[in-house]
Structure 1
Amino acid sequence: MSFGRQFVALLAMSLSGFAQRIGSVLTIVIGVTCAVAVLVSMLSMGTGARREALGNARDDRVVFTSLGAQGIGSSIPRDEADTVLNLPGIKKGSDGKPLVVFTAVMLIEAHRRVTDRRVFFPLVGLTGAFTTEFDPKFHLTEGRMFHPGLFELIASNPCVRQYTGFELGARRSIHAT
C-alpha cells in the first residue's frame, strides 16, 4: 500500500469519530486558536516596541550615555561632554561649529487641560545647536526660536493642547533639584 493511500485511510478513520468526540475536538481547536492568537499578538507587540524604539534612529546620529545608564538616567559631566565637539567625523553646521546637541532631562509638573489633574512628564532641555540644520523635520508653528540664557522653552503642539501653562507667552515656574 502506498503512502498516499495509507494517509487517506488514516485520515478517514480519524475523521469518522468526530461525531462522538465533538466536545474534545472543539476544545482542542479553540485552545490551539487561542494559543496562536496570543503568540501572534506578543510578536506584534514586540515588533511595535522595536519600531518605536528605533523610529528616530538614524545612521548619521550618535547618542552618548554614561556607563550602565538606561533611558534618561545618564549623567555625563560637562567637561567630558565637551570632548565630543572635537571628535573626528562630527558634522559641522553652516557656521562651522559642530552639530552637537547636549540634553538635560528633568521631571516637570503640569495640569491637564480637561481634568485639571496634576501630572509629571519629562522636560528635555537642549543646547542652542538644535536647529533645522540638525533636524530638518523640526519647524516652529508659533513664536520664535529660543535664545540661550533666557530660560525659555519650546512646547510641542500636543503639549499645548493637553496641558495648561504652555501657551505662547505663558510664564511658569520650573523647580529643578
Structure 2
Amino acid sequence: MPKVKESNAAKVKAIVNEFKDFTISPTEKLFCQHLATLKHKKGIEARTTRSSALQQAFIHPVQLNNFTSQLVRAFASSDIPLVKVQHLSIRKLFVDLGKTVPSESACRQKVFELSEADNQKLLDKLSEKELFFVMDETDLRGKKFLHTLCGTLDKPDSCFLVKCSVLDRSPNS
C-alpha cells in the first residue's frame, strides 16, 4: 500500500512535539516561545545585519524532481528494487557525487507520476490511428499470465504492452 503524504498540520504538530520552544497558532503556523530571551533577540539582530535572507536550519529547499525521475527510471529499467535506494553504499555514492538521495517513498510516488506520464504519451501516439491487438499467454513457474499488446497498423513492427494480467487458469480452458 503506498504511503500517504503527511499533511502540513501533521508536520507542524510533530515539530511542536519534538521542539518544546514552539507553539501552534490557530492557523497552524509555528511560533517560537522564547521570543523574549536574549538568544532569540541576538538571532534576530544577526539576521537583520546580514545582507542575505536566512532560512531556518531544519528546512532545506531541495529540487529533487528531475534527479528523482532519473533515478527511478534508471532503477526501474535495470530491474533494481527501489528499496536499494536506502542501501548505505548507494547513499554514499550519491553523496560523494553531490546529490541528495530521495527517500524510498518519494521514489515510489515518482513511479506513479512517471507511469501516468508514460500512459499519456502512449495515448497520444495511438490516438486516431488504426490499431491492432495481440493477446499472448505465458506460463511461468505455475502462474499463468495474459499479455495484451497494442500497436498501430502504420508501424506494425512496434507494439506496446498495454496490460499484464495474472490468470487463475488457462484462457483456452
TM-score, length-scaled by structure 1: 0.26
**Where is the strand percentage greater, Structure 1 or Structure 2?**
2
TM-score, length-scaled by structure 2: 0.26
